[in-house]
A and B are shown apart, each in its own frame.
Chain A
Amino acid sequence: MEKFFLAVALGICFLVLLVLYRVVFGPGVFNRVAAISAVGTKTLIILLIVGFLYRRVDMFVDISIVYALLNFIGCIAVAKYLEMEQ
């Protein structure tokens, strides 16, 4: 089961690289914001899988909840800033 989780984590890391292309070269700011949000959710899953691998899921669940909250608030802050610019 650990090998399966490790493979899933590596696959998600590869997907993060694909999304990073959108962050760096993406046309326009909105593509970048959506891509950064997607990277945040993938990081959350990677954190949970790392928790499974270290057998300390109860700790990593706390960290990933905080990560999700800050990702959400940061996304709203960027959206508000862009709304003000227009």
Chain B
Amino acid sequence: MIHRGEDVIIRTIARMLIPFIQLYALYVIMHGHYSPGGGFQGGVILGASLVLLLLTYGYHDARSRISEKIMIIFSSLGVLIYAGIGFLCLLLLGNFLDYSMLSRILHVDAAHARSLGILGVEIGVGFAVMAVMVSIFLDISTGGVLPGDEEEKEKQVPVSEV
């Protein structure tokens, strides 16, 4: 499924659609307070746009943008943002994820601090969900062995023998 497609129509449509899908995903994340959506749903849409890129252009062409390492870094970064905001509230003598304590750092009133804190947490959730979606797709579609991994392993074997 991951090989490069030759269909001009699908490639052109995907190239035109992917930026708008990503823009819509950012809208869903940022507008999660007022409309259905939030971090998880926006992350799923963002991941779906990257899955579309992988489907149409193949792993070899998309590798410079979407590699397994970057996805691992992004998923860890998302969890770090979520837990970091929670523990920041803990350090400011509040409960875990008690956003109103952030008002001491941000110099705004408590309600505004809650809004900003929830936004930060949702951005973290969006990062994590997007990275895990793409990672699961890569693992399922290649059976766990990515096309580039075999070449790297062959290169590394002589080094380990020396």
Contacts and interface: CB of A to CB of B under 8 A. Distances in A.
Interface of A: 58-59, 62-63, 65-66, 69-70, 72-73, 76-77, 80-81, 83-84
Interface in B71-113: none
Interface stretch (B35-43, B62-70, B123-131, B149-157): B35-43
B56 A69 contact: no
B10 interface: yes
Given A59-B35, A76-B10, A76-B14, 4 more contacts: A66-B45, A72-B17, A77-B51, A84-B1
A80 B21 contact: no
Contacts, number: 38
A66 B41 contact: yes
Contacts of B28: 62, 66
Q: Which 9 A-B pairs have the closest CB atoms?
A: A73-B52, A80-B1, A73-B48, A62-B35, A59-B36, A80-B55, A84-B1, A81-B1, A59-B35
Contacts of A72: 17
B15 interface: no
A70 B48 CA distance: 7
